[in-house]
Structure 1
Amino acid sequence: MTKSGNADNNEILLSTDTDEMEILVFTIKNQVFGVNVLQVREILMPSPVDKIPHGHPSVEGVYMPRDTLITVVNLADYLGIYLDSEERSLFIVADVNKLNAAFRVNNVLGIERISINNIEKSEASYGRAGVMTGIIRVNGKLISLIDFAKIVEDIAP
């Protein structure tokens, strides 16, 4: 599944004078997270990953779909969430800080448009400083907003 939209939606997303943004909402275990859709390139079914030596502990390895080398980050591990290896997963692929990264998550729930004025700052960061940018309530669910760029900066400084 690839992110797409019409020109009007893209203009709203790129406009700096709007107080709205769109987030991709996903789950890890029973926790709900969101990331700015501007950080997301596509969503892929998981593929076998080749291990790499001496990498960050949360980096599973690399794989190469369509002749593009992508680093796979186990997001549950990075955030300190215990996850059974048997659980269903997807890759959210992002191109941040000149690194193609696939973040392993359990499920993608969809895209939500939110007002940035409704984002609450949070002191919690899942053990990683600056990774969580805030919390927002959407349709009765608390969504922890995370920054893929900050994670990539941490795993590949």
Structure 2
Amino acid sequence: MSSIIDGVDQRTNLAGNNRLELLLFRLGGSQLYGINVFKVREAIPCPALTKMPNSHPDIRGIASIRGKTISIVDLSQSIGRKGIGDPESNFVILTEYNRTVQGFLVSQVERIVNISWSEVLPPPSASGAGNYMTAITKVDDKIVQIIDVEQVLAQVMNITAAVSTDLAEDLAEKNTQARKHILVADDSSVARKQIKRTLVQIGLDATIAKNGKEALEILKGWAEQGLTVSEHVSLLISDIEMPEMDGYTLTSEIRKDPALKDLQILLHTSMSGTFNQALVKKVGADKFLPKFSANELAAEVQALIQ
């Protein structure tokens, strides 16, 4: 099964062209789900699991894979569905999110598809605030749900995001006199809350956009009002993976627009890989920072706005 993603490193040229590749999988039913190939290390038959006492109920156990001990999360159960049956008769997708490696238990791994981010749309508003979709798309006329993995991990791993007290007080004091404004673009509701909470802790205000297209529209709206955008907003913090327009494309569009080109841009993403550093330079971003460390984000934001 691991052969399905062989050569993933050769696909980095997709990034920056508003395209992505999704690994499609199922969770015990006919519904298709997708995950960005860049976040996938390997897809394998589920190994033997060891159940850990007092662990979150969605963690089916731990496994030793490639010499590392990795938690295996029942992805179906995590999003409110019935849990997957006997793990060892199913599959694990090994992923790297937010600087950690985890395995997601799935019932079936399908195939990889290459699509444009413009074909990936935010979930319907009727799906509600509690849903686990970050986006949807269509493949062969079938709906594919893209899961907000950051939300799943925040719930299962009990991730908290707070700036240390000393750092928060120090930076907030510096920002009290001239309260600066930050634009944040991220499709994950959990990530938006984490980033906004970090900014508030260090004395900064924020405008929030749910994807790159919305962020670009906000920036152009400010420019049309006659505002000098780079003075009105001190920094754009943008995710890379977003429906309709990804962070690389957003950065490129900003740099091409005379009214926006001087805006400072921090690309902030759960995607790992050295290719990000090269693409930051290619599209003209000022900095790349992996998610998620509240202290690191606070320090990097402060350095950029000064």
Report the TM-score when normalising by structure 1: 0.85
Cα distance change, pair 48–38 in 1 and its aligned pair in 2 (3 A): same
Match of 2:45 in 1: 45
Offset of residue 103 of structure 1? 0.4
User: 2: CA distance between counterparts of 1:84 and 1:91?
Assistant: 11
Match of 2:27 in 1: 28
Cα distance change, pair 7–29 in 1 and its aligned pair in 2 (3 A): closer
Higher relative helix content:
2
Q: Residue by residue, what CA displacement relative to the aligned partner does 1:54-90 show, whole Å, maximum 9, x if unpaired? A: 2222011211022111100011111122246258410
% of aligned pairs identical? 24
- Which has the higher relative contact order, 1 or 2, with Cα contacts under 8 A spaced 6 or more apart? 1
User: 2: CA distance between counterparts of 1:106 and 1:68?
Assistant: 23
Match of 1:66 in 2: 66
Report the secondary structure of 2:66's partner residue: helix
User: 2: CA distance between counterparts of 1:141 and 1:61?
Assistant: 32
5+ residue gaps in structure 2?
Answer: 160-306
Q: Size of the alignment, in residue pairs?
A: 152
Report the secondary structure of 2:95's partner residue: strand
Q: How does 1:120-139 map to 2 (within 5 A)?
A: 120-122=121-123, 123=125, 124=127, 128=130, 131-139=132-140
Contact 2:50-2:63 within 8 A present in 1 as well: yes
Q: Determine whether 1:116 maps to 2:117.
A: yes
User: 1: CA distance between counterparts of 2:108 and 2:75?
Assistant: 12
Instruction: Letter of the 1:28 partner, please give it.
Output: L
User: 1: CA distance between counterparts of 2:41 and 2:10?
Assistant: 19
Report the secondary structure of 2:82's partner residue: coil
Report the TM-score when normalising by structure 2: 0.46
The structure having more radius of gyration, on CA atoms, is 2
Q: What RMSD in Å do the two structures reach over aligned CA positions?
A: 2.2
Match of 1:95 in 2: 96
Contact 2:84-2:106 within 8 A present in 1 as well: no
Structure 1 residue runs of 4 or more that deviate by more than 3 Å after TM superposition: none
Contact 1:69-1:100 within 8 A present in 2 as well: no
User: 2: CA distance between counterparts of 1:56 and 1:128?
Assistant: 19
